[in-house]
Amino acid sequence: MSEIVVISGHPNSEGSYANSVILHELKQSIANIDIRYLDKLYPDFKIDIQAEQNALINADVIVLQFPFYWYSIPALLKKWLDDVFAYDFAFGANGDKLKGKDLILSFTVGGPEESYDPLGYNHFTVEQLIYPLQQTAYLTGLNFCEPIYTHRMVYVEGVYNKLEDVQNRATIHAKRLIKRIDVLQNSPEIIIKRFAKHWFENFDTLPNDSTIFTAHLSEGITLSMPEGEFTGHSGFRDWYKMARETFKPNCEHIVEQIAVKKQREQSYQVELRIRLLADTFEDSKLQGEQVNLLVNELWDLKLKDNGQIEISQYSVEVA
């Protein structure tokens, strides 16, 4: 699974003086990256919506890489956005597939910085001109990260800028972008949030083997559940057995809120608000009832040097 997906919106990526340098640097520096060159994939503007949506589902960080065209994005990237960010995928009743992912706008601006000013040639700041994209992120539940952009990125031989200067600026731009991605991928808060996402994805399937969970629990973990108090791995297995006897596989845990608070070195407290949607077995205490339940969870955990997470306390309270 790709964790970084870059959508290249340049209409001629190979002929670009700046965007091609940025994309080359990304490809050389980041292993788990999927760069999708829209001009190569869809020269006819016929977007494979399912393929693009699948790529985004697999991503933790989404980068839109493009030249700033007429105060906006190039036509092919706009077409991609219109087609891929569809109802019940990116928005709407069931449109939560992008929620919680990080979005970075990375773009090149031809004009100088001073021209993007109320008293300048372009009258508006760059930040003001990208408000529609920022609102798109908010509507779809994406985490809108501070954009990365660089001015004076147009080269016209003998008229505007030197090619060497433009490409040097593109290299510096790429390094800024790589650093931003590294922070998003490796900060403790991001690691913990990503872990929580995968924890509940695994729990939804209710696998027979519980070691996928106990591998992240301390030997002396204490669990406070609506069903009672449990201790250690054996206690978790007892509780998990009850859960598997109650809920049918393929339930859904929706992480509605998550907050990570650092307690001390490598120790964190995680507050979660989870909605559980599930079917139950008829011979269980819930007698086949469909469940739509909101719970508050509180985890105490340690983030080890090797990146592994160990939970020492786990409590669940019905909201």
228: Cα within 13 Å, side-chain hemisphere = 9
Q: Which amino acid is at 77?
A: L
What span, in angstroms and rounded, lies between the C-alpha atoms of 226 and 217? Answer: 19
The DSSP output letter for 266 is: T
pLDDT digit of tens for each residue in the chain (319 aa)?
458 999 999 999 999 999 999 999 999 999 889 999 999 999 999 999 999 999 999 898 999 999 999 999 999 999 999 999 999 999 998 898 998 899 999 999 999 999 999 999 999 999 999 999 999 999 999 999 999 999 999 888 888 889 999 999 999 999 999 999 998 888 888 889 889 988 999 999 999 999 999 999 999 999 999 999 999 999 999 999 999 999 999 999 999 999 999 998 889 999 999 999 999 999 999 999 999 999 999 999 999 888 899 999 999 999 8
**Which two tokens mark 16?**
């670009």
pTM of the model: 0.71
Residue 2's pLDDT is: 55
Pairing of strands 252-264, 267-279: antiparallel
Closest CA to 276 of 288, 294, 296, 289: 294
**Which two tokens mark 51?**
């393929």
Residue 202's contacts (CB-CB under 8 Å, 6 or more residues apart) are 212, 213
10 Å CB burial of residue 229 (0-12, 13-18, 19+) is exposed
Q: Is 146 left (phi over 0), alpha (psi -120 to 50) or beta?
A: beta
Residue 157's pLDDT is: 84
Q: How far is CA 306 from CA 132, 172, 292, 309, 310, in A?
A: 40, 30, 37, 9, 11
DSSP E strands in the chain: the ranges are 4-8, 33-37, 61-67, 102-108, 143-144, 148-150, 217-225, 228-231, 252-264, 267-279, 290-303, 309-318
DSSP codes, 167-208: HHHHHHHHHHHHHHHHHHHHSHHHHHHHHHHHHHHHHHH--S
Neighbours of 152 (CB within 10 A): 17
Residue 1's pLDDT is: 42
Residues belonging to the chain: 319
Residue 269's pLDDT is: 96
Q: Report the DSSP beta bridge partners of residue 230.
A: 223
Residue 33's pLDDT is: 94
First to last CA, the chain: 34
Neighbours of 319 (CB within 10 A): 10
What span, in angstroms and rounded, lies between the C-alpha atoms of 288 and 230? Answer: 25
